[in-house]
Structure 1
Amino acid sequence: MSSSTSAYRVQEILGRGGFRTVALCKKRPTNHLVVLKMSKGEKSIAASENEATYLSRMRAKGSQDSNIVRYMDSFMVDDVHCLEFERLDISLSQDIEHHRLTVKEIPGQGSWFSEAVGVVHADLKPANVMLVDHVLQPLRVKLIDFGLAHVMVTKVSLCPPQISRNAAGSPYSHAVDTWGLGCIAAEMWRGTSLFQGLSAAHMFYEETPPEFKAAEECDVSSFMDLVTEMLSMNPRERITPSDILHHPFLELSHLDSSRHSSS
């Protein structure tokens, strides 16, 4: 297939569902490998065009230098709308199976950037967080799939994103993405999705890997505090994405204080 400036040859189908196909392609004349997200059908094309709008808005604000997937182009080929992205590696959901990353590598930077430019991702989950290169850059991640993105509003919903994003007219704020980040952090800790337990203690400590049981008590306490703030049922009380980056758990300040108290 071809755009007005380049030709693309499909190398591998990375995913397919509904009216969308994601493919790894070789781009001519550069021969660079890129990813095309192709949408067909009225609703899917409208969603793809909406995603292009938000990606363009963030790119104009400097998203190329943040933890957000590099968006390169959008174009129509016959009745198919295409979005072109940089090639990334594996998703966080795939990585969790091998426990390569720790919870301190949650993608707060990308969420902070989208908050700063007034965009709510609205679908943060491990499958939408990609490792750039799990071998050469194992700690670097990027957010993908802004298909459900919305403009941020000041009035916030009183529901988690899984509920509010399906309710007609529900407002969106950064609290939606904070909730998603909290779920991601908890899943990285547990190795399984969060809402399967009956209580907070059950969710975090049942089937906890041995290496976490041996972790310093203050580190566990600080992590629990962060996730509790991220998963507050009242969005007005939920920690903001930018404040997440300055929480003691990520700045490791709680470990300094524990050393002083024990000496």
Structure 2
Amino acid sequence: DEDNDEDNEHQEEERREDVAHAYFVEKYLGCGGYGKVAQCTRLDNKVKMAVKIVRNDMTWAGKREVAVLQKLRKLDQDKNNLVRFAEHFEYKGHVCLAFEMLDINIYDFIRSRDFQPLHLSEIRVITQQMLVALNALKSVGLSHADVKPDNIMLVNHHQQPFRVKLIDFGLAANVSKIHAGTLIQAIGYRAPEVILGLPLDEAVDMWSLGCVLAFMYLGQNLYPIRCAYQVMRAIVQMQGLPDDHLLNSGIYSSCFFSKDKDSSNPSWRLNTEAEYMLLTGSKTRRYRGIFDKLTSLNDVTKTRPEVNDTTEFEDTQAFLSLLKRMLQVDPQKRITLSEALGHRFITMKHFPHDANPNPYMSAAFSTIKKCQLEESSVKFKHFVTSSEVVSFKGESVFMMNDHPHVLQLTGPLKATTRVHQRKLA
């Protein structure tokens, strides 16, 4: 039996070496703390692949990511907007992961346009695809834990404009195993419950995606990206102090907030930069950004010229409504994935029901059509806000059979018949 085990191990090693020799490295695309990514060609079929080469002192991280990727194989990776994982192998002590070759990430794409913001119709299709991706992760009990523009990639922008996939599952983890106090996510995309050291679940990804929406709309980061204290300062400035029950429970709350001990009814306040440095030993890194100019999330839409078209104005309000719900400081009040998929910004049910759509509507429908989204069976709940008239019968604009311009665009969404009504101010 031992001999058989040794033979099997030897054969597996030889197979891995054979697989490794099947790739020709053309160029390196980027590098990070984990290692680097190379553009390779498979010698047997000449197909270009992206190969992630993990540092040889981080083999554990590579094997952990392989375990997550194998779990994702249960899902249809194309329909769920997840990067297609081909195989893994070891080469000279490096764990290597081979993926389909994609185009360019959202950060680099917007940078290539001199940080010119995206149109609302473009933000919509990207958002819908990422909600489907995160919903798929949730279905197998996973949180991505590193959603940011760099990890959302255009598939082939020339052939399918704004068709995107979620990449990099190096930090992804079982939701049940992410403990309070675990530091995950890039700082500017880090959820308040992570910063404060509160219990964590997939709601952390919704916060990060909200930050991505803001980045695409503004052409710059909504929150500071280098210092957790400055993130919390910006949150307080735009959204107010986190609720007492959050601050009372957070492992790290006292690093960022204090209570006045001399008061008979002490209330929380944000620590000064000096207090934060004294408590943590960490220097705060302050720099200028859009967050210095915003006093509330409502100010986000004021960064663009005033809108005269009624449909565009309603669409802007729908975008702001979804953004504010994604960026709820309390994770229990944050919009869920199924609710977000049913929000009017995604379903477009706020668009006039007209057989002859105006130019703004036509452009929005055209963006969806050009994207050529995969058919998905994702179910969602209609999300009704207090600003909407709650009299519709539960049909999404995507599902209205007598709207010829929308009927052909129903692919990405299939509605449930039950209306989920959750009113929020």
TM-score, scaled relative to structure 2: 0.55
Residue in 2 that maps onto 1:55: 69
In structure 2, do the counterparts of structure 1 residues 100 and 226 end up closer, same or farther at CA, with 3 Å as the change threshold? Answer: closer
Residue in 2 that maps onto 1:186: 214
In structure 2, do the counterparts of structure 1 residues 233 and 204 end up closer, same or farther at CA, with 3 Å as the change threshold? Answer: same
Q: Does 1:115 align with 2:130?
A: no
Residue in 1 that maps onto 2:35: 20
**Alignment partners' CA distance in 2, 1:257 and 1:233:** 35
Residue in 2 that maps onto 1:66: 80
User: 3-state SS of the aligned residue for 2:351?
Assistant: helix
Structure 1, 29-38 or 92-101: larger mean CA deviation: 92-101
**Alignment partners' CA distance in 1, 2:335 and 2:18:** 45
**Alignment partners' CA distance in 2, 1:228 and 1:166:** 19
The unaligned stretches of length 5 or more in structure 1 are none
Structure 1, 194-203 or 73-82: larger mean CA deviation: 194-203
Report the AA paired with residue 97 of structure 2.
Answer: L
Deviation at 1:61, TM superposition (A): 3.0
Residue in 1 that maps onto 2:325: 229
Aligned residues of 2:144 and 2:171 also touching (Cα < 8 A): yes
Residue in 2 that maps onto 1:37: 52
**Alignment partners' CA distance in 2, 1:3 and 1:167:** 46
The unaligned stretches of length 5 or more in structure 2 are 1-15, 224-289, 358-388, 390-425
Structure 1, 195-204 or 184-193: larger mean CA deviation: 195-204
Q: Does 1:131 align with 2:154?
A: yes
In structure 2, do the counterparts of structure 1 residues 250 and 77 end up closer, same or farther at CA, with 3 Å as the change threshold? Answer: same
Residue in 1 that maps onto 2:300: 204
Greater strand content = 1
Deviation at 1:100, TM superposition (A): 5.6
Aligned residues of 1:12 and 1:24 also touching (Cα < 8 A): yes
* Alignment: residue pair count: 255
Residue in 1 that maps onto 2:407: none
**Alignment partners' CA distance in 2, 1:111 and 1:19:** 23
In structure 2, do the counterparts of structure 1 residues 26 and 167 end up closer, same or farther at CA, with 3 Å as the change threshold? Answer: farther
In structure 2, do the counterparts of structure 1 residues 3 and 213 end up closer, same or farther at CA, with 3 Å as the change threshold? Answer: farther
Residue in 2 that maps onto 1:256: 352
Q: Percent identity?
A: 31
Equivalent positions of 1:95-106 (< 5 A) are 95-97=109-111, 98=113, 99=117, 102-105=122-125, 106=127
Root mean square deviation, CA, Å: 3.0
User: 3-state SS of the aligned residue for 1:254?
Assistant: coil
In structure 2, do the counterparts of structure 1 residues 3 and 166 end up closer, same or farther at CA, with 3 Å as the change threshold? Answer: farther
**Alignment partners' CA distance in 2, 1:28 and 1:165:** 44
Give CA-to-partner distance per residue, 1:161-203, whole Å, 9 cap, x none. 52655888x6541201101110111111111111242422575
**Alignment partners' CA distance in 2, 1:72 and 1:104:** 29
In structure 2, do the counterparts of structure 1 residues 176 and 201 end up closer, same or farther at CA, with 3 Å as the change threshold? Answer: closer
Aligned residues of 1:150 and 1:172 also touching (Cα < 8 A): no
In structure 2, do the counterparts of structure 1 residues 52 and 155 end up closer, same or farther at CA, with 3 Å as the change threshold? Answer: closer
Report the AA paired with residue 52 of structure 1.
Answer: V
Report the AA paired with residue 103 of structure 1.
Answer: I
Deviation at 1:41, TM superposition (A): 3.2
Give CA-to-partner distance per residue, 1:78-110, whole Å, 9 cap, x none. 211101000000101122233566210222221
Residue in 2 that maps onto 1:147: 170
Structure with more relative contact order (C-alpha pairs < 8 Å, separation 6 or more): 1
In structure 2, do the counterparts of structure 1 residues 207 and 171 end up closer, same or farther at CA, with 3 Å as the change threshold? Answer: same
**Alignment partners' CA distance in 1, 2:94 and 2:179:** 35
**Alignment partners' CA distance in 2, 1:219 and 1:57:** 37
